[in-house]
Structure 1
Amino acid sequence: MKTPRPFTHIDTWVFDLDNTLYPHHVNLWQQVDARIGEFVSAWLKISAEEARVIQKNYYRRYGTTMRGMMTEHGVHADDYLAYVHRIDHSPLEPNPAMGAAIARLPGRKLILTNGSTDHADAVLQRLGIGEHFEAVFDIIAAELEPKPAPQTYQKFLRDHGVNPETSAMFEDLARNLVVPHQLGMTTVLVVPDGSQDVVREDWELEGRDAAHVDHVTDDLTGFLEKVGAKA
């Protein structure tokens, strides 16, 4: 039996954005996913079906479809990000309980996302929790290298002066917690609560029993409330 790392020493709390700070079943990312497919189809002048295969292949191989499209086809990040994040954020609802739980955590709170700052700002505004975060480290700050690339986490830690051994990382993809755990972070995997259907690839939902996952929750707000109460 593995012994999960505790939160007693944590002074920096790092959160992924999509499908982490809001429930999977909102399926907001499904809109982005559809826009990515449209972009790939138009850029490569192929059918939607062919684009879907390439989109998912690049996502899995490169960490993001964008990285694959840049590497394989010379796509410019600005064009890609502007198109795929042009979505309707209205399904997101304010979550004051989560905001209160985050506020109660001792220390700094940061966001580390493969999305753009514009998208993150829109999500945080809809959730009403943006005031609790010191900064957003996005795909541009990462020099277009997405998680789970090791250099992305290392650049994040350097840029924001974060000590991984006193930090916790919250993510919805287990593979994005491998490097944080190796660096010494306490890791938390946020999974669907099972109440509603979610649009995810099978591999995206794997890994909850992995050695690099210290904690698993399907209720982030409740989880943070318990951690904050103990801290």
Structure 2
Amino acid sequence: MDLSNIKNWVFDLDNTIYSPQKDIFGQIDKRMTKFITAKLKVNEDDAFKIQKKYFIKYGTTLAGLMKEDKVQPKDFLDFVHDIDLSCLSADTELSSAIKQLKGKKIIFTNGSKTHAEKVISRLELNNVFDEIFDIEDSQFIPKPQIQAYLDFLKKLKLDPKKTIMFEDMSRNLVPAKKLGMTTVLIKREMPMKEKKYHFKEFEDLWKNNNEADYIVDDLVKFFNKYYKDSKK
């Protein structure tokens, strides 16, 4: 593994820097359904289908709600991120692994900065990351829309050819790879509720379709191998 050219280490947040077994995003998912049920005055099943339809079509549920239903982003983000993070605790191994990296360490999330800061605090990664680029920074244009990546690179003055991106969703690596970034897919299982509803489009979100230069199931293992290879 030769990453000697990398100067910028970019991480997605949810289900990337912590395991989906913690079910943090599961809580967010339920809050999104609840928000849509109340806002659009539909039943829970219809709300869930709208939620996923927007997610597939626009990149995030929020982007669809803003475009089609004139929802204010702050109202949505405040509501869906009002969750219990007590299942998260200090991740000393991940903290040590990322701190050793030479260069900038950045969170690039479709969520809010407030949510990212709370998650990072629970994991005790407060002094690990140099920047958080959130959905507001990209003018609410989400990954995987390429404009979000262009805004990200421009604002932080990053050279994509010296940047590596870690993501749990393969479709979000497509623009990154197209722009010249090195890409790493954190292999995750498709959430059970999506399997239940048989959204065929979701299957591709968790599969590698040649977007990833590396596929791993654990960030710490990836970095341990990287450090070991670097000493050769």
TM-score when normalising by structure 1: 0.92
2:229 paired with 1:230: yes
Change (3 A) 1:22 1:165: same
Change (3 A) 1:200 1:24: farther
- Measure the CA separation in 1 of the matches of 2:125 and 2:204: 26
Q: What displacement does 1:228 show?
A: 3.3
Report the equivalent of 1:213.
212
1:159-190 CA distances to partner (integer Å, 9 max, x unpaired)?
A: 00110001100000000000100111110000
Report the equivalent of 2:129.
133
Tell me the amino acid that sits aligned with residue 210 of structure 2: A
Whether contact under 8 Å (2:9, 2:164) holds in the other structure is yes
- Measure the CA separation in 2 of the matches of 1:21 and 1:35: 21
Report the equivalent of 2:77.
81
Taking only the aligned residue pairs, the percentage that are identical comes to 39
Within a 5 Å distance, the mapping from 1:92-171 to structure 2 comes to 92-171=88-167
- Measure the CA separation in 1 of the matches of 2:183 and 2:76: 30
1:78-117 CA distances to partner (integer Å, 9 max, x unpaired)?
A: 1010100000011112101000000111111001000000
Whether contact under 8 Å (1:6, 1:186) holds in the other structure is no
- Measure the CA separation in 2 of the matches of 1:228 and 1:68: 42
2:15 paired with 1:19: yes
TM-score when normalising by structure 2: 0.92
Change (3 A) 1:18 1:148: same
Report the equivalent of 1:52.
48
Whether contact under 8 Å (2:113, 2:134) holds in the other structure is yes
The counterpart of 1:187, out of the listed 162, 165, 183, is 183
- Measure the CA separation in 1 of the matches of 2:54 and 2:121: 30
Q: Where do 5+ consecutive residues of structure 2 fail to align?
A: 195-201
- Output the aligned Cα RMSD: 1.6
- Measure the CA separation in 2 of the matches of 1:216 and 1:53: 30
Tell me the amino acid that sits aligned with residue 117 of structure 1: K
Report the more deviating stretch, 217-226 or 106-115.
217-226
- Measure the CA separation in 1 of the matches of 2:60 and 2:204: 13
Change (3 A) 1:200 1:145: farther
Tell me the amino acid that sits aligned with residue 222 of structure 2: F
Higher relative contact order (CA closer than 8 Å, sequence separation 6+): 1
Q: What displacement does 1:71 show?
A: 0.3
